Structure 1
Amino acid sequence: MKMNEMNSATATAAARRRPRTDMRTRDLVNQAVGSIPTLGLQRAAEFLAAMNVPAEIAVRTLVYPERRRAS
């Protein structure tokens, strides 16, 4: 895939996203991401699981930070 095709695909996906409505999950994800440098990825993932953040969201935000939404 060419770079301009990737940018177009990313822009299309962003346009399809629904507005964020779950501020609790946003705050939990931000807390987990912020803890990665000190606690590590595993502990951040465990925290999100313990807080009942859906696995799809946890994986997307922890493993693929470029896919995170702006706060």
Structure 2
Amino acid sequence: MNDTGELAPASDTTSVRRQRTDIRTRDLINQAVASVPTLGLQRAAEFLATMNVPAEVAVRVLVYPNRRRAN
């Protein structure tokens, strides 16, 4: 699927990102990322773990910020 919800051509499937559907997780991620400069990476990671954000998502957004999705 592409950002408009339509199926993407088979050749484009590796570069297409799905549209975000989990608004709660998005908001938690935004809070954690915003807190990194003041609280640190460890505390942000602990917050996401406490809020049941999947570990692979937390690592991706905290350690590799260039891999974050646009809102």
RMSD of equivalent CA atoms: 1.5
TM-score under structure 2 length normalisation: 0.79
1:11-50 deviation line (CA, Å, top 9, x unaligned) = 86441x2110000000000000000000000000000000
Q: Could you list the runs of 5+ residues in structure 1 that have no partner in the other structure? A: 1-10
Name 2:22's counterpart in structure 1: 22
Q: Could you list the runs of 5+ residues in structure 2 that have no partner in the other structure? A: 1-11
Runs of 4+, deviation exceeding 2 Å: 11-14
Name 1:45's counterpart in structure 2: 45
> How far apart, in 1, do the equivalents of 2:66 and 2:14 lie?
13
> How far apart, in 1, do the equivalents of 2:40 and 2:55 lie?
17
TM-score under structure 1 length normalisation: 0.79
Identity of aligned residues (%): 77
Aligned length: 60
